[in-house]
Structure 1
Amino acid sequence: MRPSRIVRQWLPFSLLALGGMWLVAMLAHGWGERRELSQQATQSRQQLDLHARALEQLVDRYRALPQVLALDPELRAAVAGPLDHALQQRLNRRLEEANHTARASTLTLIDRDGIAIAASNWREPGSNVGERYGFRPYVGQAFSEGHGRFYGIGVTTGVPGYFLSELIRDDAGEPLGVVVIKIEVSAVEREWLRLDGTMLVSDTHGVIFLATEDDWRYRTLRPLDAATRRGMADTRQYGLQPLQPMSASVRTTLADDARLVRIDAPARAGEQLWASAPLQESGWTLHLLRDVGPPVAAAARQAATAAGIAWLAAVLLAMFMVQRRRMVALRLRSRAELEALVQQHARELRSARDGLLEAAQGADSGLSRQLDHLPQGVVIIDADLRVAAWNRRYVELFRFPPDFIQVGRPIEDVFRYNAQRGLLGPGPVEDAIQRRLEHLRSGTPHTRESEKEDGTVLEIRGNPLPDGGFVTSYADITSYKAAARELRSLADALERRIADRTADLEQARQDAVEANRYKTRFVAAAVHDLLQPLNAARMFLSALRSRLQDGEQRDLSRHVDAALASQDAILTSLLDISRMEARTQQVDIRDFALAPLLDALAREFGILATARGSTLRHVPTRLAVRSDEALLRRVLQNLLSNAVRYTPRGRILLGCRRAGDDVRIEVWDTGPGIPRSRQREIFEEFRRLDDGGDSVGSGLGLAIVDRIARLLGHGIGLRSRIGAGSVFSVTVPRAQAVPVQAPPAATDAGPASATTSPLQGCTVWCLDDDAQSCAAARAMLERWGCNVPLAAGANAARSAARRGDAPDLVLLDLHLGKDSGPDVFAALVAAWGSTTQVILLTGDRSDAAQALARNRGWHYLPKPVRPPALRALMSQLLLRAA
């Protein structure tokens, strides 16, 4: 090859290599500069933080001394009263000794006029004693804020320092004087001389007062206005020192509050790294000025050199790889030419064998005709990985050219041909071919799907042959995949529709729950409001009955009382149902004996049954159950009330029996019976049987039984025969035997005469927000002989309350309009100066209201109030108080 051709061939490559090396070196040079500057800025900020803490620790070490001296009795006495010479000398020595111990510069005691009356430097010619320092800021700060701080040049000594002051107060807190300590910070400047760079400290006005180089001291970082200069002159902060401005321009802003600047005054060569750190308490700012030109330049050179070397290494490696590829290509081309020459000379010698081979191929290809009926494309490969047989569908699927598929052709050629058309997928072609050849050699069955560029999807199944070789089938499943995609899209659409319908149903359910909750609250509020006039009616009726003498009129009043009692039962049942629907009913599950409960119910309903002409028998038991005793009592009360109502002349039986691990409590009656078609219906609200019984029932008793049983998890049973009677039962979990407590001894609660009644002459207040209830209560209580000075609402009660005039008893409603009964009673107790007994009369039958009464030591009666029960409770409380 000619030298000129070699030069033309390698010249562009050489120019590209050199140009790339220069570009990479420049980029690395800039990156090295930025990286080194960032490291230098971080290092400078760390040094500043370290020295900032050291400076703050120096100030903190002396901070407590003036605070302690401000509490010294002798110093307080000195600035409070007249000062004689002996006391002044003693104070001077005291401050001198304290200053010597603390190793400060000066300790000074200043009176309220700003005159130094004692100082630790009293022996020196420039003593502070007798000097006036009231114009110094640290004196004014101490009198106004209690303490002060100030840096400046000493007025008397001419030595700069940091002044800390503390106010001295008398016992009443009045200011007496100020004690001041002066700290010389020049030692800090000497320690900073060992630093690599220039350390500066500036005040809040930007005046540099500490510096490791003299030409930086008393320079201003920014222009000072006239007011600032006048204030410095008045306080003589820097004495007669001239304040010269600094001149600098910022070239680059870096991280960590650092910047690269060029300084003209005082003159500095090159660019300087300027880092700053504020001191929070004093308002000062620390500055570190460093010449980072040499290290930055060295780092940039190192980065550029390393990048250039790496680029040259990469270029040489690329040149080596290109040359090697060319050599490989040259060897392959020479080999191909040699093989072609050999084949050309050997073709004439093999003409006879070629004829035999063609005959053999024709014989072997007979298998393809047997495979032509298959809808899949099929190819058979022998043990040497050569094509042995195929069918027409295989050639059609892959669109092979005529005579390309032949017996004896290596399957590797077929794979390579398909790879050139992109049918083997992405990635290196040779790797894909070798992977498939290794799979055929291993003889592993496989099934997979492949999608061609035209969208055709093939299902490929391969299985090994017993004597070696492999058979592979190719099925066109494009229509099947399209149908599957359509099914998936339909399924997705169906899922979305189901999700939308589910969301709509959930919203409807929430709306229904909210509507039910609103209905429950409305029922509870309505029942509470209806109980108020019902309570007043029963009180008016009680007062009226005592004045009726005619027997027929008294019978009429009893009928009215019975009607009001039935209305009371209906409202109470509605309130219970609303409470259970709102899930506010409290449940107290525990173990208890059944005997006391069944005995009490038998006595109570036995009297009612006898009055109606029937008999009630009770079978005693020793069993114990696990349930809520109050709610179970309510269930049995409703079942017994139902049995008494529908058995006017017959027999009723109350008893229980074991049922495995449970106890079944049963109520038998000989009433008219219940048809099977209506046995489920009677447990609904306001459903009553028209045949038999009276017309008093509300149709809510069995509905409440059903809800309480579901709340407690108890089973309700019913067996009935027309004309023979019914059996209602409730199944309760059985518990271990529980000791039965003896009932309290009965006391004689017979009516007392008017002259011996404890209610006679007692003072009672009635607090209710309903005017009719107040009037009814007043009439009833006055009939009982009570003195009722007040029966009104909350505002009238507050106005009538007088200290020492508390009543004997208060009948209190829980809700008094906008006020709460307990809050109003607390205000009355504060006005009376003492407390009294309380009976809480309210239509709120919740457990929370009853718990409120128990916690406050009050007694609770639900509205509408039964007058005999109220009279008995009032008599009991008054007798107990007496």
Structure 2
Amino acid sequence: MRLLPSRPLNSYLLIALWLAVSVLGGLLAYQGFVKWGLGDARDAGDSRLERYAASLLSEADRFAFVPALVALQPEVQQLLRTPQNRALQRKANQYLETLNSQIGTLNAYVLNRKGHVLAASNWQQPDSFVGEDLSFRPYVQQALKQGKGRYFGIGTIRGEPGYYLTSLWGEGAQQGIAVVKVGLAQLEQFWSHAESPVLVSDENQVVILSNVEAWRFATLQPLDEARRGALEVSLQYNGRVLKPLDWHWQQGPEGFQLLRLPPQAADPQGKSQAGDLFLVQSRPLAGTPWQITVLSPLSRTLQLARSRAWLAAVMTALALLTLQIAVQRRRHQQALEQARQGLEIKVQQRTADLLTANTALQQEVAERIQTEQTLRAAQDELVQAGKMAVLGQLSTEMAHELNQPLTALRTLASNSQRFLERGQTDVAQRNLQRMVELTERMGFMTGQLRNFARKSAGDARAVLVASLLDGAQDVLEVRIARSAAVVVSALTPPDLQVWCDANRVQQVLVNLMANALDAMQGLSQPRLEIDCQASGQWARIIVRDHGPGLSEDARKRLFEPFFTTKSEGLGLGLSLSADIVRASGGSLQASNHPKGGAVFQLLLPMVDTLQVADVRIPL
């Protein structure tokens, strides 16, 4: 926001004070939320420490009784007294092999007081311990001094890390040491799903267990030369390079111990990233020289504290702004009241204008509706007039066609009277049956004209294309019958349906067929072809004559009102036909056939395509 030099000095001071108080409120809130988040992280970390420590001690103590159990076996005790007895050694080996397989430990073996392996569970494998001198191993020396012991180390033969449990029994030279090596891979696999890093360090500050693979066998603190030399002699870690993690601890608020990971301590598996801040919580493991440590990530806690601090700063700013607005509102109440009154006057004026415009718009809409209805009525009258014109053209032919049945009826009636006088009732009955057939034929012809002359209700519905073509042919049956050389070819699928006003579309077909018959008057071999087919979303009805075809001028003006190539007529037939087809959602097109004659194509939407959102009329 740009401050103008003309603004009073107290306004600048007020804005500066408002910003300062808002920032101070955000900082105080941030500190409070950080302490609160650290407390929650500490409680969650204590719970994880308790759970992880219990699982580790449970896994370690699960096999604590096994060395003493091995020492109680008779074949083991006898082998200690007579180590040269091969039969006893074989029995002891088999017992240790079976025991190791059943309880799921890595190895189990027995040593004499000098540290030589007398029997082992892996006695049949190439890297068998039998005969090895392990007196230098710290867990052997621990057992000789304390009677039993627990020790973590890496095997010198196989290189497997494990937890060694030892037990000393016997007296004097007959003393023996039972050793069981327990693998902790299952525990590490369980810890791999933990949501935060966890590690276990031994008495040498070496990380012996962790769900972060990059931290295993690294030191929490740099080792001095004396300690490194002792570890190289004992081979506790079997020559592993013990690199320090080089972690830098920080002292957080209220005694919290924090750790920010350096780049070299990042976990490529994703549990920790360089620069992440963690809450460090540690506790010793009972019965062992080990210490378990849990690192609780604080990135989410700090992010939440920042978000809440921003919210607190915004709320403080809003509260101060609300107070300032209240003061300004009191000062400007009178000015706002005046502005409100002026606005009400403008609103009233605008409302009156809108009402006037709305009234005028309603009148215009009513006029347009009335005009549309008038045009619709005029179009209906024109359509009806077109029908009457077609009926006028057919009246002469219809009268001639009806004259023959009437003459036949008079003759049959006169003959039937004579046959009845002579008593020839069977001949009279046949004449009467023939008279009935002639009257039915005359009724069918006049009925088709009557149906064609009826005004359309204007309602669209599903109509079979075959019924439309049959109706049009029935209306023109007299003209078609009088033109003996006319052949009508109607290739129509019987189940093809279109959506239209059947009466009006039938009139279109009558117009097209009548025009085709007119175009072929005087020809020696007139031919009228009607074809119907489904084309995509459309029903395509094709009416072709074998006349002279359409001139270029006629093709351009064919569908214009009052344009005609005949000596009589108003020229409205094709114009009205095109309007009727467009109202049904289709199109009417005209062209010349390559082999001669005019071709009219009538496109109507099929019933199955009515749900299509965008139906385009093909050209």
- TM class, shorter-length: 0.3 to 0.5
Scaled by the length of structure 2, what TM-score is found? 0.48
Q: Which has the higher contact order (CA 8 A, sep 6+)?
A: 2
